[in-house]
Amino acid sequence: MKSHQIKAVIEGLLFVSGEEGIDEKQIMDVLQLDRKTVKFYMAELIEAYASDSRGIQVVEIAGGYQFTTKAEHAPYFKRLVQSPSTTTLSQAALEALAIVAYKQPISRIEIEDIRGVKSERPLRTLIAKSLIKEVGRVEGAGRAILYGTTKDFLEQFGLRSIKELPPLPEKVSEDDVEEEVDLFFSRFQEQLASTQEESSNTN
């Protein structure tokens, strides 16, 4: 298969994979190519679609590749489809989200131990927004649900993987738990505020 044909097939794979995206291993398996070759073609496609003459782009998120629209074209999309504006997360929800992101997998009881207050409602909100999900159960009596972040969470904050979260202090004492939560919250508040500002500017 010639080079232009390989790139055409990859474009098709990106299209049919939709918002779920497709990872390198899947492309390798389908096209019977090694990882180095796949990376070469993906780099070429990413560069080609970065052109101002293109209305979509190829992005690498959460270990996979997918087609997305470009942020600068958002005003035109909003004229076509009336979509609900981004709902602001409460401070409680942001705190819970930050704790899940850094401590996952983590149970509701553990989250409440850190926050010092009940967290059932904030967790329901985060699940409804597809920012967190059930990732397992605690062993033993009760089998409490363990929570972790989702792919939507990575996309919302522009992360390729959870490893790209801002680093936290290596050692935090029990007396500093409140400060740790404040740090979690402030990092996410800044990022979410930036995202919401961009959204409001395009309305």
122 in any annotated domain: yes
Is pLDDT above 70 for 183? no
Residue that has been written with the tokens 């010639």 in this structure? 2
Task: Give the domain-ending residue among 44, 59, 80.
Answer: 80
Helix or strand or coil: residue 145? strand
pLDDT at residue 73 in the model: 86
Are the beta carbons of 89 and 60 closer than 8 angstroms? no
Cross-strand partners of 58? 67
Q: Is the pLDDT of residue 179 over 80?
A: no
For residue 148, name the pLDDT band (cuts at 50, 70, 90).
Answer: very high
Residue 85 DSSP symbol: P
Q: Are residues 107 and 51 in the same domain?
A: no
Q: How many distinct structural domains can be found in the chain?
A: 2
Domain match, 196 and 109 both: yes
Secondary structure of residue 132 in the 3-state scheme? strand
DSSP reduced 3-state for 136: strand
- d(CA 195, CA 77) in angstroms, rounded, equals 17
- The pLDDT score that the predictor gives to residue 39 is 93
Closest by Cα among 165, 156, 115 to 132: 156
Same domain, 56 and 97: no
- Give the residue numbers spanning the domain of 32: 3-80
In this structure, the number of other CB atoms found within 10 A of the CB of residue 89 comes to: 20
Residue 96 shares a structural domain with residue 195: yes
- Residue 161 tokens read as 């993987």
CATH number, residue 27: 1.10.10.10
Q: CB count, 10 Å around CB of 38?
A: 21
Same domain, residue pair 101 and 46:
no
Report pLDDT digits (tens) over 9-67.
999 999 888 767 888 999 999 999 999 999 999 999 999 999 989 999 999 877 789 88
In this predicted structure, the answer to whether residue 178 has a pLDDT above a threshold of 70 is: no
Instruction: Decide if 86 is inside a domain.
Output: no
Dihedral angle of Cα 22, 43, 194, 91, to the nearest 10 degrees: 40
In this model, does residue 200 exceed pLDDT 60?
A: no
- Specify the pLDDT at position 174: 46
Residues 11 and 47 in one domain: yes
CA distance 162 to 61: 11
Q: What pLDDT score was predicted for residue 86?
A: 45
Are residues 96 and 168 part of one domain? Answer: yes
Q: What is the mean pLDDT of residues 148-170?
A: 80
Least confident of 80-94, 98-112, 137-151, 180-194: 180-194
The confidence score (pLDDT) of residue 141 equals: 58
| Average pLDDT along the chain | 79
